Amino acid sequence: MGNITFTMIKPEAVEAKHTGSILKRIEEGGFRIVALKKVHLNHERAGLFYKVHKDRPFYRELVEYMSRGPIISAILEKDNAVADFRTLIGATNPEEADEGTIRKEFATNLSMNAIHGSDSDDNAITESDFHFSSKERF
Ligand code: GDP
């Protein structure tokens, strides 16, 4: 079990000024912020980040959405980080997300679901390395 995960507060949640509320929920959930920044992924970078989904029907829409405006990206630390963070954010589809989860409260729909969380320890490392150098981590 790893102790880091990677997250992004997605463009529509940043636009709606939910950044502060979501970061508060993350810290109150026991996660320590190791790295944090605001960044606008261009079409190419968003496509690269989500390349595992390139054959899925929603890939094009996902890349358009994730490159439409700035996101907040972060590396988070906690014991059992990946699983505990996915519990905190809730199901991919907010209609199926439990009460009290971040997606239940802030997501718009299945596509615009407010926040990303890594799905494995390996992906947490790959995704963290995609966004942050070692000098940006504390
Ligand atoms: P996650 O790990 O919970 O983020 O879910 P996935 O890795 O399966 O999907 C990545 C992202 O693609 C999700 O967070 C959604 O933003 C989007 N997505 C997933 N499934 C669908 C879908 O069926 N339709 C659309 N439009 N977007 C989807």
Is the minimum distance from the CB of 109 to ligand 1 under 6 angstroms?
A: no
Euclidean distance between CA atoms 20 and 4, whole angstroms: 21
Please give the DSSP secondary-structure letter assigned to residue 109. S
Distance 97 CA to ligand 1 centre (A): 13
- Residue 73's φ and ψ, nearest 5 degrees, are -110, 150
Q: Which residue minimizes the CA distance to atom 16 of ligand 1?
A: 111
Express each pLDDT in 70-129 by its tens digit: 999 999 999 999 999 999 999 999 999 999 999 999 999 999 999 999 999 999 999 999
Distance 3 CA to ligand 1 centre (A): 24
Q: Whole-model pTM above 0.95? A: yes
Task: Report the pLDDT value the prediction gives residue 1, as an integer from 0 to 100.
Answer: 76
Express each pLDDT in 28-84 by its tens digit: 999 999 999 999 999 999 999 999 999 999 999 999 999 999 999 999 999 999 999
The set of catalytic residues is 116
